[in-house]
Amino acid sequence: MAQGQVRQLGCSSSSLPAFSLLLPLPGEARKAACKQILGLAWAEMAACGRGLRRAVGASPHPALRRAHSDARGRLKPEYDAVVIGAGHNGLVAAAYLQRLGVNTAVFERRHVIGGAAVTEEIIPGFKFSRASYLLSLLRPQIYTELELKKHGLRLHLRNPHSFTPMLEEGTAGKVPRSLLLGTDMAENQKQIAQFSRKDAQAFPKYEAFMNRLALAIDPLLDAAPVDMEAFQRGSLLQRLKSLSTLKPLLQAGRILGAQLPQYYQVLTAPAVKVLNQWFESEPLKATLATDSVIGAMTSPYIPGSGYVLLHHVMGGLEGMRGAWGYVQGGMGALSDAIASSATAHGASIFTEKTVAKVQVSSGGRVQGVVLQDGSEVRSKVVLSSASPQITFLKLTPQEWLPEEFVERISQLDTQSPVTKINVAVNRLPDFLAAPNAPRGQPLPHHQCSIHLNCEDTLLLHQAFEDAMDGLPSHRPMIELCIPSSLDPTLAPPGCHVISLFTQYTPYTLAAGKAWDEQERNAHADRVCDCIEAYAPGFKGSVVGRDILTPPDLERVFGLPGGNIFHCAMALDQLYFARPVPLHSSYRCPLRGLYLCGSGAHPGGGVMGAAGRNAAHVVFRDLRSM
């Protein structure tokens, strides 16, 4: 996403196809025409935006108004729109469409809604955010427009938010050092000064630098990418209309200004190269570098890792930029709030209803879906929040898709390094670097993302290299979170739920091994051994665990290769190349079929932007039908 976006800012060729129409005009006339066209395009886009904003809270469009006389839970033979998958993006798309007057039904394969944003009681009494586990990236408009607080969403903001304990020997009985970061910059500098006074002075400047880049990219998240298809092949009117898609890029360029080359480097260089220009202490660099590789089969020493770093610092909660938090009741409570917003306006959501295929008319247009039980449900449009691979390679009849498109989808990079382990414990971890309180109450560091085996960037790289050899990392990178430290409803009194996001584990193991129960437990045991070194007694506190390797994440949640982003957030799979070039506007070669999940722009994370953006594209298309 952002890498492709910012890269395009530095290359004026993106606008040449449209402006080439004006080249035959004399110089002054051409300038005047450009101004007029841009003015019209901006005005049209602004009017369209105002119309959409009004429509979200207004009466349905007359052409799409429906009498919802059927019971909400009863399957009807026809809807205006069908959404495949009740992941958070699918639910967001359904909520917006229904508010816009588009009669919408959502079909979910599993027994529970939410996709990867789900709460499940896997061990009796312990409620886990089984896959995704933190909230920050959800677009602020979605909170307000879908009235999520009204529909029960409650958040626990974390401050401090990051804790990196050290493993230090020979400290003469002293408590090992640790790095605790939060919203208090003076306290952050004090913490960093333990390792480098120079880094403590540089840290506020680094934060300001990154925040400016996040601010520039922000408008790009809430709109479809530049419509290259319209620029290249559209009619004159389509080309002129598509000029409006340049506005977010121009806004980003205006914010970055003369510093654009430095920001371009952030998005294309190895994260370590970027961090080395700012800092000298390894504990700080490694802590920050974890965000550059989280969920990605990459190393902070590999070019392009800087973007994922940005992707995880550009969010915010309740007006606090960069804030991360826990959802009261687990991530499933977020999905429940979105679903409640959708059904309150008449949307229908069905679980344990697997879509078997997309139906296509003889004229080559989507006309609904067929469920696994043989039921046919007609619709004008179909939106899929499933991965591009499932949507286009399994659910869509191949004869209706161009061969080149199918080939590109089949070649998407879906490598994943993640094994998610959910652990139930009967007491809080007691870290050597921050001993527990006498009565075992949660302390500030317990609410953090706790980074283990992250004292040095080379440790992260070595863990990555193990996976490249087909082996689970010997010293895996571990992000440990304890949501019950702020939300006691998740576990019995005195007990806690722990989320372990571990890297790196390859999808396919070396030497012909399979991810059987023995290999799963071997990796989980290795992770627990690592935690034990930082927090003695941890292994004895475990009362149960749930292990999800990359194949398990694929099987349970439909994540191809176990990839939490549906496909890698790499330079060649972002912005107008997501999922593939010329098909980044949520539309696809089959008329009436749209992609609205993490495999579409702007990508993965619990963001909701793909669902919201896709819904607006669909609504505009329906109005023109």
Cα separation, 141 vs 375, in Å, equals: 36
Q: Is the pLDDT of residue 338 over 60?
A: yes
Tokens for 602, please give them: 């702007």
**Tens of pLDDT, residues 50-107:** 444 444 444 343 333 332 233 346 899 999 999 999 999 999 999 999 999 999 999 9
Q: Going by C-beta distance under 8 Å and a sequence separation of 6 or more, which residues neighbour residue 594?
A: 381, 382, 383, 384, 586, 587, 588, 614, 617, 618
Tell me the chain's radius of gyration from C-alpha atoms.
25
According to DSSP H, which parts of 20-119 are helical? 27-56, 88-99
**Tens of pLDDT, residues 348-395:** 999 999 999 999 999 999 999 999 999 999 999 999 999 999 999 999
Task: Provide long-range contacts, Cβ within 8 A and 24+ apart, for 373-376.
Answer: 375/75, 376/77
Cα separation, 290 vs 309, in Å, equals: 8
**Tens of pLDDT, residues 560-609:** 999 999 998 888 898 888 999 888 899 999 999 999 999 999 998 999 99
In 187-331 the beta strands, taken as DSSP E runs, fall at 316-317, 320-321, 325-327
Task: Assign 4 a pLDDT band (cuts: 50, 70, 90).
Answer: very low
Q: Residue 212 is which amino acid?
A: R
Q: Residue 622 is which amino acid?
A: L
Q: Evaluate whether 280 touches 262 at the Cβ level (below 8 Å).
A: no
Cα separation, 602 vs 593, in Å, equals: 18
Average pLDDT, the chain: 87
Tokens for 172, please give them: 């003469």
Residue for token digits 């070039």?
Answer: 581
User: For residue 612, how many other CB atoms are within 10 A of its CB?
Assistant: 23
**Tens of pLDDT, residues 219-256:** 889 988 877 766 666 677 767 777 777 777 778 888 88
Cα separation, 571 vs 563, in Å, equals: 16
DSSP secondary structure, 301-366, as one string: TSTTHHHHHHHTTS-EETTEET--EEETT-HHHHHHHHHHHHHHTT-EEESS--EEEEEE-TTSBE
| pLDDT of 545 | 97
Residue for token digits 């005195």?
Answer: 494
| pLDDT of 73 | 66
**Which residues make up the CATH 3.50.50.60 domain(s) of the chain?**
78-155+328-413+567-623
Beta bridge partners of 58: none
**Tens of pLDDT, residues 410-465:** 999 999 999 999 999 999 999 999 999 888 899 999 999 999 999 999 999 999 99
Residue for token digits 């939060």?
Answer: 182
Query: Which residues in 489-523 are b (16+ Cβ under 10 Å) and which e?
Result: ebbeeebbbbbbbbbbbbbebeeeeebeeebbeeb
| pLDDT of 264 | 85
Q: Report the pLDDT averaged over residues 118-127.
A: 97
Q: Is the pLDDT of residue 542 over 50?
A: yes
Residue for token digits 């694929």?
Answer: 554
Cα separation, 265 vs 495, in Å, equals: 45
Phi, psi of 192 (to 5 degrees): -65, -35
When mean pLDDT is compared across 43-47, 64-68, 130-134, 247-251, the lowest value belongs to: 64-68
| pLDDT of 262 | 81
The Cα-based distances of 581 to 232, 241, 575 in angstroms read 12, 20, 9
123's enclosing H/E stretch is strand 119-123
Task: Assign 302 a pLDDT band (cuts: 50, 70, 90).
Answer: very high
Q: Evaluate whether 501 touches 294 at the Cβ level (below 8 Å).
A: yes
| pLDDT of 50 | 43
The fold of the 78-155+328-413+567-623 domain, in CATH, is FAD/NAD(P)-binding domain (3.50.50)
Q: Is the pLDDT of residue 28 over 80?
A: no
547's enclosing H/E stretch is strand 542-548
